[in-house]
Amino acid sequence: MNSQSCNIAIVGGGTAGLALATELKRLGVEGVTVLEREPEAGGVPRHCGHYPFGVRELKRVLKGPDYARALVKNARAAGVDIRTGATVTQLHPNARLSLNTPEGDYELQAQRVVLCTGVRESSRAQRFIGGQRPMGVLTTGALQSMVFLNQKRPFRRPVIIGTELVSFSAIMTCRHMGIRPQAMLEENNRVTVRQIMRPFPALKGVPIRFNAQNIRILGDKTVEAVAYSDAAGQHRIEADGVIISGQFRPESALLHASHLEVDPATGGPSIDQYGRASDASYFCTGNLLRPVETSSWCWHEAVETASRIAQDLTAPIGGTESIALCAADPAIKFVVPQRLVKSEAPGAMTQMQLRLAQPASGYLSAISGGQTLWGGFLASRPERRVLAPLKPLLKPTLTAPVEMHILGG
Ligand SMILES: Cc1cc2nc3c(=O)[nH]c(=O)nc-3n(C[C@H](O)[C@H](O)[C@H](O)COP(=O)(O)OP(=O)(O)OC[C@H]3O[C@@H](n4cnc5c(N)ncnc54)[C@H](O)[C@@H]3O)c2cc1C
């Protein structure tokens, strides 16, 4: 098989991959290659045909596709080699990749690989949605691709399952194409997005049905209806399509088939405070780290990761011995990073990220071997960003795992 080499190979040309590549070039790193499986780079924003993208990072208010184009343009201008139609099919130890491209398969040997493959929504099967198997059941991402990349209208009267931010963006995508959602179904008794967004669907003429259980899709060839039950009994909504929105999970198929450690809690890679995977020649950034953050957040995260990689190339970060950083309370869904290495190299993440599995309040505490290293008040709901400082935990003397507790909740 053909073999090529580069300095830094970035897997995924979305927000994180492009921001990281551009910053690496700005820092003077040579031989930066972005590998993107789609025919165009730009990632998810390419098919988010709505505002607002780019406010903090580009100081402009853009629609997703314009933002994606701006990121590609900046990367090219900085001298990044962007290879499209290039699907990475395997990760090997010590920064070696297998690729499938229109020109044929080849291997790429890099000094460092950065994984930036993002997130995707859970499928119907992953959400255990029952019923028949008709055509016309799409995730929001698939709908956005059809509408904004192919100008197609897959249905006219769909039901939206979920009430996350992306579910609300599904309403906007539908409006763009003259599609009229019949209802949103939410299994809980309140919307997943922040309450301030609660009136939006009603303003667009889309009722929300709360406490919807046992959701089933009905229809032989195409969708005919969606059935569900609640405390009042059984219901049926006539519809010709279904949008399955949200419940993001990292795009980690490559990871699962590789030698790299995966964190079952996030579904993404297990990383240290420098963003390094269990093989230190692999860094990871962007939404692959955890479901799910905004594009702006991923852009900033990637720029920080770029400076760590640039530093690692000149003065290796070192530190292979690590202790675990983990959740010790059922209300905590995940913690990132998952490992703290004993390295005092500069540039480590300053904050850990947590998400809750259920609403919780109390004293969030980092405890190692019975010693409280840090504590702070927490009151939050699931799917909200929770941050806590990492610095008090980065002590070379620690020997026991650092466990995150919620005390007095
Ligand atoms: C449906 C959907 C809607 C969203 N809407 C918004 C929104 O409105 N606003 C917002 O701020 N955020 C939104 N997000 C969050 C989104 O993840 C971030 O905005 C941002 O795109 C994250 O950047 P990223 O680089 O981590 O991932 P992405 O932008 O997803 O980029 C990952 C890239 O990796 C490529 N890739 C994956 N596997 C391989 C492989 N094996 N080989 C080569 N290339 C590969 C993919 O093709 C993709 O281009 C949405 C996400 C989804 C899934």
**Which atom of ligand 1 lies at the shortest distance from residue 294's CA?**
11
Task: Assess whether the C-beta atom of 35 lies below 6 angstroms from ligand 1.
Answer: yes
Examine the fold and report which residue of 219, 246, 273 is the final residue of a domain before the chain moves on.
246
Residue 115 sits in the same domain as residue 255: yes
What's residue 409's pLDDT? 66
Three-state secondary structure string covering 284-329 = ECHHHHCCCCCHHHHHHHHHHHHHHHHHHHHCCCCCCCEEEEEECC
pLDDT digits (tens, 9 = 90+) for 363-390: 999 999 999 999 999 999 998 999 999 9
- Looking at residue 396, its pLDDT comes to 83
- Are 226 and 291 part of one and the same domain? no
Q: Are residues 108 and 23 in the same domain?
A: yes
Please return the burial class of 5, using the count of CB atoms within 10 Å of its CB with bins 0-12, 13-18 and 19+: middle
**252 in the same domain as 212:** no
Please indicate, yes or no, whether residues 101 and 12 belong to a single structural domain of this protein: yes
Probe residue for ligand 1, chosen from 47, 117, 168, 247 as the CB with the greatest number of ligand atoms within 8 Å: 117
| Ligand 1 contacts CB of residue 246 (under 6 A) | no
Per-residue model confidence as pLDDT tens digits over 141-181? 999 999 999 999 999 999 999 999 999 999 999 999 999 99
Asked if 156 and 47 sit in the same domain, the reply is no
Are 239 and 179 found together in one domain? yes
Q: Of 374, 383, 378, 376, nearest to 362 (Cα)?
A: 378
Residues 6+ positions from 14 with CB-CB distance below 8 Å: 36, 41, 42, 43, 44, 45, 116, 118, 286, 298
CA–CA distance, 34 with 108 (Å, rounded to integer): 12
Q: Is the CB of 298 under 6 A from ligand 1?
A: yes
Grouping H, G, I as helix, E, B as strand and the rest as coil, residue 114 is: strand
**Structural domain count, the chain:** 3
One domain, residues 10 and 60: yes
Bridge partners, residue 158, by sequence: 241
Distance 201 CA to ligand 1 centre (A): 25
Tokens of 186: 């939410």
Ligand 1 center–CA 146 separation, angstroms: 16
Ligand 1 pocket: which of 38, 44, 69, 120 to mutate (most atoms within 8 A of CB): 44
Reported as a single tens digit per residue, the pLDDT across 64-104 is 999 999 999 999 999 999 999 999 999 999 999 999 999 99
Determine the residue type at 250.
Answer: P
Mean pLDDT of 289-318: 96
Q: Range of 352's domain?
A: 321-409
Region of 68 on the Ramachandran plot (φ > 0 left; ψ -120 to 50 alpha; else beta): alpha
The CATH number assigned to the domain holding 187 equals 3.50.50.60
Nearest-CA residue for ligand 1 atom 46 is 12
Q: What is the phi/psi pair of residue 226, to 5°?
A: -125, 130
pTM greater than 0.95? yes
What whole-number distance in Å separates Cα of residue 13 and Cα of residue 20?
10
C-alpha atoms less than 13 angstroms from C-alpha of 23 in its C-beta half-sphere: 21
Going by CA atoms, what residue is nearest to atom 13 of ligand 1? Answer: 294
Of 269, 290, 317, which residue is a domain's last?
Answer: 317
- Amino acid identity of 328? A
* Average pLDDT in the chain: 96
Neighbour tally for 301: CB within 10 Å:
23
Q: Which whole number is the average pLDDT over 243-268?
A: 97
* Confidence (pLDDT) at 5: 97
Q: Is 169 in the pocket of ligand 1 (CB under 6 A)?
A: yes
Residues 117, 8 share a domain: yes
Q: Is the CB of 66 under 6 A from ligand 1?
A: no
Structure tokens that stand for 290 in this block? 């955890």
Ligand 1 centroid – CA 44 distance (Å): 4
State whether 5 and 117 are in the same domain.
yes
The verdict on the CB of residue 38 being under 6 Å from ligand 1 is yes
pLDDT tens track for 183-197 = 999 999 999 998 889
Residue 306's nearest CA partner among 19, 96, 13 is 19
Q: Are residues 5 and 101 in the same domain?
A: yes
Atom of ligand 1 at shortest range from CA of 46: 29
Question: Tell me, what amino acid is at 221?
Answer: K
21 and 91 within one domain? yes
